[in-house]
Amino acid sequence: MAAFDTGSTAFMLLATSLVMLMTPGLAFFYGGLAGRRNILGIMIQSFVSMGITTILWYAFGYSLCFSGNIMGGVIGDLNKAFMHGVDLNTAYSGNPKIPEFVFFAYQMMFAIITPALITGAFVNRVTFKSYLVFLILWQVLVYYPFVHMVWGGGLLFVHGVRDFAGGIVVHATAGFAALASVIYVGKRRDTESPPNSIPLIAIGTGLLWFGWYGFNAGSELDVDAITGQAFINTDVAASFAAITWLAIEWALVKKPKFVGLLTGAVAGLATITPAAGYVTLTSAVTIGIAAGGVCYLAVHLKNKMGWDDALDVWGVHGIGGCLGTILLGVFATKTINAAGADGLLYGGGKFFLKQTLAVVGTCAYAFVFTYAMLAIINMFTKVKVGEQEEMTGLDAAIHGEQAYDAGVV
């Protein structure tokens, strides 16, 4: 029996549990933001990812991300398909203090939530059958390659690109996939669909914020000072972003909006993600303020452009992930993490350029592949729901259920 470090292993199991909790948290967040006829339709899209993604991850997803290196480092191989060669004594090569099974589970939680993030953009417009096909193909063609290229020792990693917990891998890919989805499926026929439950949004935000400590601090894959740095950077950036968003909106619309405060917090969490374990606390403050302002402006740009991204996935996650990745290129310092790099402020001009080019390329790839994928799926099964289904609401039309009994709300 291999002797693993009990503290590190226990911490990573806790972090895995926290990241798992983020997917139900996202379901609550989106469920509250959706109109009352589409609460269950959006929530099931998050929960079903927990099942399908787990199956894919066990069968071949983990192997494609973290085994071997083929196609010039774009993707892994199938040597660890169905966890071949991995048993309870197998140590994770990146940190031999923890079992590989634990790393497998931790990364699986990231794979579960990433495609679920996209769903907020096309709420009330996509058939459940086509979403299931999309869920599978998007992971294989978009998510897995970027996991491998950044975290699996692939192409981007060997060229010096860094992403602590998912600015490129999670938020940029999902955000620009969301934008492609919105452009493909078009606008809702009924855009008068206010949030059905702001308290539900608040519960979802609380679960996301709580889970994000596992998302970011857990990405150190150990228990050390960098773990603590990532933890506090996460909280501080979210807090500053929330207050920045609140202040901007209050100044412009003359009312302090609770939904704005909550959305700003999520924008801060998304933006600090790639930088959490690579920057100082002071830099995290700056990143949080930038997140609140830039993501707020991105949402208004979306509205001006007429993109019907219903729950602002592009403006919050896509732009947040891009902004955080670029600001990592500015604020990163090896005094915080020797495994990172020095950013523009510390003489790392090349690193800043690499981060910028990597995130631009990521966004372009995710956008193009997502749009093409939806077009191909539509050849075999209808992607966009019919007019009657949309006006009835997907809860009743597709799922035959309703979130609340008549008369409750």
CATH code of the domain in which 248 resides: 1.10.3430.10
Please tell me the total number of residues recorded for the chain in this structure. 409
Confidence grade of residue 406 (pLDDT, cut at 50, 70, 90): low
Tokens of 195: 């949030």
Which range is least confidently modeled, 105-114, 141-150, 385-394?
385-394
C-alpha 252/C-alpha 258 separation (Å) is: 15
Tokens of 364: 């372009």
Give residue-wise pLDDT tens across range 281-318.
999 999 999 999 999 999 999 999 999 999 999 999 99
Q: Check whether 374 has a pLDDT greater than 90.
A: yes
Q: Check whether 249 has a pLDDT greater than 90.
A: yes
Q: Check whether 407 has a pLDDT greater than 60.
A: no
C-alpha 8/C-alpha 293 separation (Å) is: 37
Q: What is the mean pLDDT of residues 127-144?
A: 98
CB 16 within 8 A of CB 102: yes
- The answer for 346, left when phi > 0, alpha when psi is -120 to 50, beta otherwise, is alpha
Residue 257 lies in a domain: yes
Residue 407 lies in a domain: no
Tokens of 273: 């993600």
Domain range for residue 68?
6-397
CB 213 within 8 A of CB 12: no
Q: What is the mean pLDDT of residues 220-230?
A: 98
Residue 406 lies in a domain: no
Confidence grade of residue 194 (pLDDT, cut at 50, 70, 90): confident
Residue 235 lies in a domain: yes
Residue 409 lies in a domain: no
Which pLDDT belongs to residue 75?
98
The closest of 206, 282, 274 to 240, measured between CA atoms, is: 282
* Total domains present in the chain: 1
CB 320 within 8 A of CB 267: yes
First to last CA, the chain: 57
Confidence grade of residue 226 (pLDDT, cut at 50, 70, 90): very high
Which pLDDT belongs to residue 371?
98
CB 26 within 8 A of CB 115: no
C-alpha 123/C-alpha 308 separation (Å) is: 10
Which pLDDT belongs to residue 276?
98
DSSP code for 404? S
The closest of 222, 231, 229, 218 to 8, measured between CA atoms, is: 222
Residue 223 lies in a domain: yes
Residue 1 lies in a domain: no
C-alpha 104/C-alpha 83 separation (Å) is: 9
Residue 404 lies in a domain: no
